[in-house]
Amino acid sequence: MDGRISLATSRQITAHILCAECEERFSRFGETWVCGNMARPDGFKIQDALLAATPLGATDQIAYYSSAGIPAINMDALVYFAMSIFWRAAAHTWRNVSGNLMDGIELGPFEGSIRLFLLGGEFPSDTVILVSVWPTKEVLQAAYTPRRGQAPDWHVFSFLVPGLDFRLLTGRRIPELFHAACSHASADKIIYSAMSVVSDTMEAFTTLMRTARTSRGLRAMTER
């Protein structure tokens, strides 16, 4: 789905921009583990691990956990995967499965430091990554590509894969409370279970639905 059309297809958003060594690196340090543990038709291992753990704190809208104390959660893989997706979204001009140019994101001066992190360097300063898990047992099997959000004095970007929401904050004016909450830099490697993941996902798809035309094939599938 984009702002023009909704369709059903097995095609994927692809481009030949990486060498085999980098593709293997991205797979080994992030993609393989995340794809095996995100929400899938046969279960959601990360959510199961959180449900068996005690949160560090909770309200009716959000709970947060120490992933450092949950062996079943590989926060390093989650962070690496997220940073690789954000970097790829910014490093290339992508076209969607319909051939239309995508909006993409711009990381500005932070693109280079994120690239170095992906090559084995230090996690970039003036950067925060937040990892959140779908909070309800019924998980929407949906994803959206990186998009830019709104923040007063810094930049924020997000994307979703089934069951997992990733937020990237960049800028020199990010409040210290966000740095303390970073899923990578915090001592507890905090992971969140937040109702905002549901509301933000619904908002993202609702926005697209306002202008997207349903393809003939998808209309036929939904009318069966």
Helix (H, G, I), strand (E, B) or coil at 51: helix
What is the rounded end-to-end Cα distance, in angstroms, of the chain?
20
Does position 2 have pLDDT exceeding 90, yes or no? Answer: no
Q: Is residue 9 part of a domain?
A: no
Domain that residue 180 falls in: 18-222
Whole-angstrom Cα distance, residue 23 to residue 191?
26
pLDDT at 112: 96
The pLDDT assigned to 7 comes to 62
Q: In which band, very low, low, confident or very high, does the pLDDT at 216 lie, cut at 50, 70 and 90? A: low
Q: Is 12 part of a structural domain of the chain?
A: no
Q: Which long-range contacts (CB under 8 A, 24 or more apart) does 54-59 make?
A: 55/193, 56/188, 56/190
Asked if the structure places residue 13 within a domain, the reply is no
Report the alpha-carbon distance of residue 63 to residue 178 in Å, rounded.
16
Residue 1 in any domain: the answer is: no
Task: With H, G, I as helix, E, B as strand and everything else as coil, classify residue 44.
Answer: coil
**Structure confidence at residue 220 (pLDDT):** 60
pLDDT(98) > 60: yes
pLDDT at residue 14, as a whole number: 82
Q: How confident is the model at residue 96, as a pLDDT?
A: 77
- Sign of the CA dihedral 33, 38, 99, 9? positive
**70 domain residue, yes or no:** yes
Is 55 part of any domain? yes
pLDDT at residue 79 is higher than 90: yes
pLDDT in tens, 117-155: 999 999 999 999 999 999 999 998 888 889 999 888 999
Q: How confident is the model at residue 202 (pLDDT cuts 50, 70, 90)?
A: confident
pLDDT score of 61: 94
pTM of the complete model: 0.89
Residue 52: both structure tokens together: 């068996």
Nearest CA-CA partner of 51 in 133, 162, 143? 133
Give me the number of domains the chain comprises.
1
Stretch among 29-43, 48-62, 101-115, 119-133 having the lowest mean pLDDT: 101-115
**Model pLDDT for residues 4-21, shown as the tens digit of each residue:** 766 676 778 788 888 899
Q: Which 3-state string (H, E, C) describes 57-126?
A: EECCCEEEEEHHHCCCCCHHHHHHHHHHHHHHHHHCCCECCCCCECCCCCCCCHHHHHHHHHCCCCCCCC
What pLDDT, on the 0 to 100 scale, is given for residue 34?
A: 98
Residue 11's Cβ-side half-sphere holds a number of Cα atoms within 13 Å equal to 12
Residue 6 resides in a domain: no
Q: CA 90 to CA 126: how far, in whole Å?
A: 18
Identify the CA nearest to 189 among candidates 81, 75, 77.
75
User: Is residue 85 predicted with pLDDT exceeding 80?
Assistant: yes
Element (H, E) at 21: helix 20-26
More confident position, 215 or 169: 169
Residue 204 lies in a domain: yes
